[in-house]
Chains A and B, each alone.
Chain A
Amino acid sequence: MERSLTHIALFTALIVVLGLVPRIDLAFGVPITAQSLGIMLCGTVLGARKGALAVVLFLVLVAIGLPVLSGGRGGLGLFAGPSAGYLIGFPVAAFVAGLVMERTTLSPLWAGVSGAIIGGIGVLYLFGITGMSIALGKTWVEASYLGMAFLPGDIIKSLLAGVVTQAIATSRPMSLISRA
């Protein structure tokens, strides 16, 4: 009981810290924030249920007014703006990524990559694009063009989510709760 509580809380803290780290520069100099990578890792490392709870806890912190989103953003305004759909989709994305980890027999690397792609791109974009289409008064297809701006970065992050999950599985197999 205590262990699941502290795992959830510490991974919420990890999401926040990955948003604070100035930024992760990729090999060819594209700056991305590692925060959404943290959200994927919640699912792939903690599993569906605990991973989703860690992300819900993160959203609670955003809603009560802590500047925990990357760039020091936070507060209720984010839930009223055009990117609200992405926020609401975050826990579902982590849940789906965790489900792929738990239910497949792929290696942690490929289970992590496919979980992050299905959850962090497939499911998340469904929520995010729907949110933008409502807030910006565009059709779903029109809004999806705007959403595609994030696609290259998110594909790289999905690959990294698999690599990091595999690194944890190799160095500390017992810690990969989604496969325990």
Chain B
Amino acid sequence: MLTLTSPIETPLHRVPVGPKLLALLATTCGLYALQSPVALVCALAGVIGLHLPGGPRFWRFALRQLRPLWVFVVIILVWHGLTDEWEAGLTILLRMVTAVAAANLVTMTSRLSDMIGILERLCRPVGAIIPPRRLAMAIALVIRFIPVLSERTNQLIEAFRARSSRRPGWRIIAPAALAALDNADHAAEALRARGGTE
């Protein structure tokens, strides 16, 4: 499975994940504290500036990540158009787009392995509740089993189509869940036979 990390190297790729996440946290809190549109425009310009070294392909990738926001942009435009509170609407839009773009930028410039590394470090203080090794094992299991379960679900859909002219629809969900339960039992046996999770 592909990750959302951009293959185009930018200077931000070389910044360690820890500081990037802290900076993101501070930026997001700061954005909610800012009230004036002028300050928010400056913040947006700053985030756009951080995208610049990536080049056009990187920008297009970043824009694609922002696409799910369009519904909310339309809602805010219509709402504030009707109530005639343009400045408030502009503030909300700027804040939303800047916050999401900044967070996406961190995702695009951080490798999956580094993200898992920081996750293990964050879990260390609560190791008694969430053992880091078991968490890493769980993530690996999910990533491994997504294609397995996906193929099984497609087989179930094909088997359904062979027998019926109707669309399978929701009827496929129960057998897919049973397939997940079967896989879980087999994987548990295999894990135990190999010395368990510790």
Q: Interface residues of B: mostly helix, strand, loop or mixed? A: helix
Per-residue A-contact encoding for B1-29, CB less than 8 Å = 1, 0 else: 11111000000000000000000100010
Is B104 touching A77 in the complex (CB atoms < 8 A)? yes
Q: For the side of the interface on B, what is the size category?
A: 35 or more
Is B188 touching A75 in the complex (CB atoms < 8 A)? no
Known: A5-B197, A76-B103. A16 touches B185 (CB 8 A): no
Question: In the docked arrangement, what's the CA distance between A137 and B187, Å?
Answer: 47
Q: Which of B5, B91, B142 contacts A16 (CB 8 A)?
A: B142
Question: In the docked arrangement, what's the CA distance between A160 and B177, Å?
Answer: 13
Q: Interface residues of A: mostly helix, strand, loop or mixed? A: helix
* Residue B173 CB within 8 A of the other chain: yes
* Residue B184 CB within 8 A of the other chain: yes
Interface centre among B91, B101, B191 (most CB of A within 10 A): B191
* Residue A103 CB within 8 A of the other chain: no
* Residue A12 CB within 8 A of the other chain: yes
* Residue B192 CB within 8 A of the other chain: yes
* Residue A106 CB within 8 A of the other chain: no
Known: A34-B170, A67-B4. A81 touches B150 (CB 8 A): no
A113 — which chain B residues lie within 8 A by C-beta? none
Is B150 touching A5 in the complex (CB atoms < 8 A)? no
Q: Which of A11, A27, A77 contacts B100 (CB 8 A)?
A: A77
Is A24 touching B169 in the complex (CB atoms < 8 A)? yes
B48 — which chain A residues lie within 8 A by C-beta? none
Is A75 touching B107 in the complex (CB atoms < 8 A)? yes
**What is the minimal beta-carbon distance from A112 to any residue of chain B, in angstroms?**
11
Select from chain B the residue with minimum beta-carbon distance to A57: B138
Is A73 touching B68 in the complex (CB atoms < 8 A)? yes
* Residue A17 CB within 8 A of the other chain: yes
* Residue B42 CB within 8 A of the other chain: no
Known: A81-B99, A175-B178. A67 touches B3 (CB 8 A): yes
Is A80 touching B188 in the complex (CB atoms < 8 A)? no
Q: Which of A20, A41, A66, A136 contacts B177 (CB 8 A)?
A: A41
B180 — which chain A residues lie within 8 A by C-beta? 10-11, 13-14
Question: In the docked arrangement, what's the CA distance between A10 and B147, Å?
Answer: 11
Is A2 touching B149 in the complex (CB atoms < 8 A)? no
* Residue A105 CB within 8 A of the other chain: no
B101 — which chain A residues lie within 8 A by C-beta? 77
Known: A13-B149, A65-B107, A77-B107. A168 touches B177 (CB 8 A): yes
| B residues in contact (CB < 8 Å) with A | 1-5, 24, 28, 32, 65-66, 68-69, 72, 75-76, 79, 88, 91-92, 96, 99-104, 106-108, 110, 112, 115-116, 119, 134-135, 137-139, 141-143, 145-146, 148-150, 153, 157, 167, 169-170, 172-174, 176-178, 180-181, 183-185, 187-189, 191-192, 196-197
